[in-house]
Amino acid sequence: MKDVLDTDALTPHFCVCSDLLTPSQPQRLVDDLQHCEVVILEWHAPRETGGRDDVVYNIVCKKCRADRRSCSHCDDNVDFVPRQLGLTETRVFISNLLAHTLYSFEIQAVNGVSNKSPYPAQHVTIDITTNQAAPSIVPIMHQISSTMNSFTLSWPQPEQPNGIILDYELRYYEKDHAEINSTILRSQTNTARVEGLRPGTVYVVQVRARTVAGFGRYSSKMCFQTLTDDDFKSELREQLPLIAGSAAAGVVFIVSLIAISIVCSRKRAYTKEAVYSDKLQHYSTGRELSLRADMSNCPSPLGCPTHFSGSPGMKIYIDPFTYEDPNEAVREFAKEIDVSTVKIEEVIGAGEFGEVYKGRLKLPGKREIFVAIKTLKAGYVEKQRRDFLSEASIMGQFDHPNIIRLEGVVTKSRPVMILTEFMENGALDSFLRQNDGQFTVIQLVGMMRGIAAGMKYLSEMNYVHRDLAARNILVNSNLVCKVSDFGLSRYLQDDTSDPSYTSSLGGKIPVRWTAPEAIAYRKFTSASDVWSYGIVMWEVMSFGERPYWDMSNQDVINAIEQDYRLPPPMDCPSALHQLMLDCWQKDRNVRPRFADIVSTLDKMIRNPTSLKAVANIPAVPSQPLLDRSIPDFNTFSSVEDWLTAIKMGQYRDNFLNSGFTSLQLVAQMTSEDLLRIGVTLAGHQKKILNNIQSMRVQMSQPPNTVA
């Protein structure tokens, strides 16, 4: 009998079950770019379905650099209709794309067993570059001035102009009226004067930019108010001395020019340049001209900035404690409010003297407004009452859109109250921490500009704040920042191991906001306020991080004495960090003035491209910078400890519930992993990824060995 080779017995048997096969890739993918923001993708079903009838499609969207070297997942605001995942149709509408941007779209075909397959889903990819688009929204607006019937507004250009801005369109209407009653105004520049308004009225304003591609979207709604008749008369009274002084100065100037021309004609031995130079060096209008220390090498005042000791017509701050009877200062600078017009609603905090409430104020003939109400607790002595009301005597002298406004006081009933305008978003430091990474650079610059404008006003009134910090800046619903906290003056307590400023009521003020000359010599000036302002800038750009981190006050003082300064916060533009360093000059005479700071920030707002360059610390920086040490992951026993150390503890559950339960697993995470577990804020992603990168570096280093 002939031997027969049973090949089936020699060949391994593989069971290929049709119900475990995944589909092949979709076919014939085509795109239809409707306009710059919308694209339609269409495809045909895969040739192989895996023997199943439950094939669906997933869309993976990536935004790429023009050179295609790197791509990242699309932002959350990109819309997919009908959906991005689990599509049963072979067509999808994708909108909210950026203009002039390269996108890569991946169409995956999956079925009910794809998640059990060891292989990735089969897919087809298409690259699309979007066209020119209308500009993005204008991020913020500022009120430059106002009258009874008009106000002037300014704004930066959109962050994504997407071409040359042709003009801007403003839409405004009275807050109490419907939006359908809007009025339209066009402007060729990023400044506009809105006229024909009603006195003492709040208007809602929006603005949008236009390019050849059309109008962008309107900005968010912001509110601006015209002056009341009383406001206008008060402002006019304040400006009359300035007008008279300017007129007198003009007369003196003309007479002086005539005198100069006579002298020039007689002294022919001198050239015109010599005569004019000599005369202009000594020309004065009666005001004292003082040279700063940094002007000592100037050939003449013409080549250097000058500072007049007083400006004609400018109100000068009066210390209420110079009054023999401090109650007289309260009567002069603060308006008495009838307690029947005040309605207390809820506690919002506690102050040095008592609780702080949110409430309402309805004065006769005026609309009802929200107010913050500071109260003086029961059982006070007369000195505490005077000290409490002194803040009202100080605030009542100020009138500026970036200074907290005093509404009045209640002194003829109990409890004694100070009423100020209500600021919906509270203190700036906590507001920034709650909204970490959610504001654009230009919005942050707008906030800092407002603070600087308020401080410029105070410095021109010869008022020194002494405690400028983000915790003492309040923020309203329009993101307008206002300087607050005008309490008692502080003094340096000598008999303490922790040098910090202490109020006469014992409230400590950390030295990390205080200029070195104020710490060493108790010398408080507007220049020391400028130093503090630089720290506030750092707080704003770091979204409320604590200056100098966990360093002790003594370590901060020692570092400053050795010329160390804070490094730039993450993603901080180099121009802003340089301005911070200017504010932290050891010689107070060479620090910028608040007028200079406002001017610098205005230029940045008008030219946002100046904020594109991010500050990087060079190998050998010109100014020694402090370095916050990177946490050593070996010191952490859990992912939760590590997240807490890098101040990202709010994502604890996101990590643990997604299976990232060890630092070794965390070290392998990518940006896609962070998106998948719910870390969507770009700033938080970058912060976590930077720390993950540091963790990888530490893991790759060999452990230290002992010889």
What CATH number did the domain enclosing 671 receive? 1.10.150.50
Q: Indicate whether 348 belongs to any domain.
A: yes
Higher-pLDDT residue of 523, 368:
368
Poorest-pLDDT segment among 98-102, 166-170, 276-280, 429-433: 276-280
Question: In terms of domains, do 465 and 566 share one?
Answer: yes
CATH number at residue 194: 2.60.40.10
Both 98 and 183 in one domain: the answer is no
Would you list the DSSP string of 172-213? EEETTS-GGG-EEEEESSSEEEE-SPPTT-EEEEEEEEEETT
Task: Please write the tens of the pLDDT for every residue from 572-620.
Answer: 999 999 999 999 999 999 999 999 999 999 999 988 888 988 876 555 5
CB 317 within 8 A of CB 465: no
Specify the CATH number for the domain of residue 362.
3.30.200.20
What's residue 437's pLDDT? 84
* Kind plus residue range of the DSSP H or E element containing 62: strand 56-64
Nearest to 632, CA basis, from 549, 695, 702, 686? 695
Q: In terms of domains, do 363 and 430 share one? A: no
* pLDDT band at residue 151 using 50, 70 and 90 as cut-offs: very high
Q: Does 261 reside within a domain?
A: no
Output the pLDDT for position 96.
Answer: 84
Model pLDDT, residue 262: 54
- DSSP lists the bridge partners of residue 174 as 203
For residues 205-227, give the mean pLDDT: 88
- Same domain for 593 and 449: yes
Kindly state whether residue 226 falls inside one of the protein's structural domains: yes
368-371-375 Cα angle (round to 5): 130
Is 83 domain-assigned? yes
Using DSSP's 3-state secondary structure scheme, residue 400 falls into coil
Q: Which tokens in the block code for residue 256? A: 């002086």
Domain-ending residue, one of 421, 447, 470: 421
In DSSP terms, 203 is beta-bridged to 174, 224
Which of 387, 436, 467, 602 does the annotation list as catalytic? 467
Please report whether residue 560 resides in a domain.
yes
Range with lowest mean pLDDT among 108-112, 163-167, 476-480, 648-652: 163-167
More confident residue, 182 or 494: 182
Both tokens of 507, joined, read 């409230």
Instruction: Compute the CA torsion angle 457, 463, 466, 469 (nearest 10 deg).
Output: -20
What pLDDT, on a 0 to 100 scale, did the predictor assign at position 621? 56
Kindly state whether residues 363 and 409 are assigned to the same domain. yes
3-state secondary structure 577-609: HHHHHHHCCCCHHHCCCHHHHHHHHHHHHHCHH
Long-range contacts, stretch 654-660, CB < 8 angstroms, 24+ apart: 654/678, 654/679
pLDDT at 489: 42
Q: In whole angstroms, give the CA distance from residue 211 to residue 134.
A: 6
- Say yes or no: 443 and 525 in one domain: yes
pLDDT computed for residue 703 by the predictor? 58
pLDDT band per the 50, 70, 90 thresholds, residue 244: low
Q: Does 354 lie in the same domain as 456?
A: no
Residues 330 and 413 placed together within one structural domain of the fold: yes
Question: How does the average pLDDT of the chain come out, rounded?
Answer: 80
The three-class DSSP label of residue 75 is coil
- 221 known member of a binding site: no
Q: Is residue 7's pLDDT more than 80?
A: no
Query: Across-strand partners of 342?
Result: 361
Residue 441 within any structural domain of the chain: yes
Q: Highest mean pLDDT range out of 66-70, 156-160, 435-439, 474-478? A: 474-478
Residues 381 and 333 in one domain: yes
Same domain as 479, residue 528: yes
Please report which confidence band the pLDDT of residue 320 belongs to, taking 50, 70 and 90 as the band edges: confident
Assess whether 385 and 460 both reside in one domain: no
Please compute the mean of the pLDDT values over residues 362-383 and round it to a whole number.
Answer: 91
Q: What is the band of 312 on the pLDDT scale with cuts at 50, 70, 90? A: very low
**What sign does the CA torsion over 531, 536, 541, 544 have?**
positive
Give me the count of residues in the chain: 707
Helix/strand/coil for 636? coil
**pLDDT at res. 261:** 57
Q: Is the pLDDT of residue 481 over 90?
A: yes
Q: Among this protein's residues, is 467 annotated catalytic?
A: yes
Q: Round to whole Å and give the CA distance between 215 and 630.
A: 46
Identify the pLDDT of residue 374: 93
Contacts of 60 (CB under 8 A, 6+ apart): 73, 105, 106, 108, 123
- Highest mean pLDDT of the ranges 43-52, 57-66, 440-449: 440-449
Domain boundary among 421, 450, 475: 421
Alpha-carbon Rg of the chain, whole angstroms?
Answer: 33
Q: Decide: 334 and 393 in contact? Cβ < 8 Å.
A: yes
CB 123 within 8 A of CB 25: yes
The answer, yes or no, to whether residue 476 has pLDDT greater than 50, is yes
Q: Which segments within 311-433 are labelled E, that is strand? A: 342-350, 355-361, 369-375, 406-410, 417-421
Query: Whole-angstrom Cα distance, residue 250 to residue 381?
Result: 54
Check whether residue 607 and residue 690 sit in a common domain. Answer: no
Terminal Cα-to-Cα distance of the chain (whole angstroms): 79
Q: Percent helix, strand, coil in the chain (nearest 5)?
A: 35, 20, 45
203 vs 143: CA distance, rounded Å: 12
Query: How many angstroms separate the CA atoms of 511 and 430, rounded?
Result: 20
Question: Which two structure tokens, joined as six digits, stand for 189?
Answer: 């520049």
* Residue ranges making up the domain that contains 39: 26-129
How far is 217 from 613, CA to CA, in rounded Å?
27
pLDDT of residue 494: 41
Of 170, 205, 230, the residue that ends a domain is 230
pLDDT of residue 597: 97
Supply the pLDDT for residue 635. Answer: 77
Answer whether residue 622 is part of any domain.
no
- Per-residue burial over 174-203, b if 16 or more Cβ lie within 10 Å, else e, is eeeeeeeeeeebebeebebebeebeebbeb
Domain tally for the chain? 5
Position 615 scores a pLDDT of 73
Q: How much of the chain, in percent, has pLDDT values that exceed 90?
A: 37
Q: What is the pLDDT of residue 269?
A: 39
> 430-443: per-residue pLDDT in tens?
999 988 888 889 99
Is 103 contained in some domain? yes
Alpha-carbon distances of 119 from 16, 53, 62, 122, rounded to whole Å? 15, 20, 21, 9
